[in-house]
């Protein structure tokens, strides 16, 4: 595992997925990524989990999502949200308590629940997201 690559890819994913969210919610996103590694179905490294096809919208073949990815890629070292995304990765990687109760999936409340949520367990609900565990 390359910590440098994992950290960069997770921070970029987190920035794109949750830059408008609270610091607590950004950390929950990172926990869900780490929980996917533990689950074993989504990849062996954090970068592999994030880059898995059709798992995180920013990496989809869609102009709107791609524009969001570019926005994240342009975030400079002085960007306060990107700094927090990197700090969130570091905290979770260092063993911070999992605030998601084992969630491996989530979606923004602004969209309809995806098909996979129907048979999953709601593990955490925040202002912006619903996090799920036991997703088949």
pLDDT tens digit sequence for 32-68:
999 999 999 999 999 999 999 889 988 887 776 678 8
pLDDT tens profile 94-133? 999 999 999 999 999 999 999 999 999 999 999 999 999 9
* Predicted local confidence at residue 131, as pLDDT: 98
Can you list the alpha helix ranges (DSSP code H) found in the chain?
Answer: 3-18, 23-39, 46-51, 63-73, 80-93
- Alpha-carbon torsion (51, 54, 56, 59), positive or negative: positive
74 sits in the region (left: phi over 0; alpha: psi -120 to 50; else beta) called alpha
* Predicted local confidence at residue 1, as pLDDT: 59
Burial of 26 (0-12, 13-18, 19+ CB in 10 A): buried
Tell me yes or no: is domain 3-98 CATH 1.10.10: yes
pLDDT tens profile 67-98? 888 889 999 879 999 999 999 999 999 999 99
* Predicted local confidence at residue 59, as pLDDT: 85
Number of neighbouring beta carbons within 10 Å of residue 118: 9
Single out the residue of 68, 64, 63, 36 nearest to residue 49, CA to CA. Answer: 36
């Amino acid at each position: 595992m390359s910590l440098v690559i994992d950290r960069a890819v997770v921070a970029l994913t987190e920035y794109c997925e949750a830059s408008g969210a609270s610091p607590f919610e950004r950390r929950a996103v990172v926990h869900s990524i780490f929980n996917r590694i533990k689950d074993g179905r989504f990849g062996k490294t954090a970068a592999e989990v994030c880059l898995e096809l059709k798992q995180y919208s920013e990496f989809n073949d869609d102009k709107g999502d791609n524009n969001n990815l570019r926005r994240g890629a342009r975030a400079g070292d002085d960007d306060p949200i990107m700094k927090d995304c990197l700090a969130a990765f570091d905290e979770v990687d260092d063993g911070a308590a999992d605030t998601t109760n084992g969630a491996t999936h989530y979606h923004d409340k602004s969209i309809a629940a995806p098909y996979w949520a129907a048979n999953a367990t709601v593990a955490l609900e925040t202002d912006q997201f619903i996090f799920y565990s036991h997703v088949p």
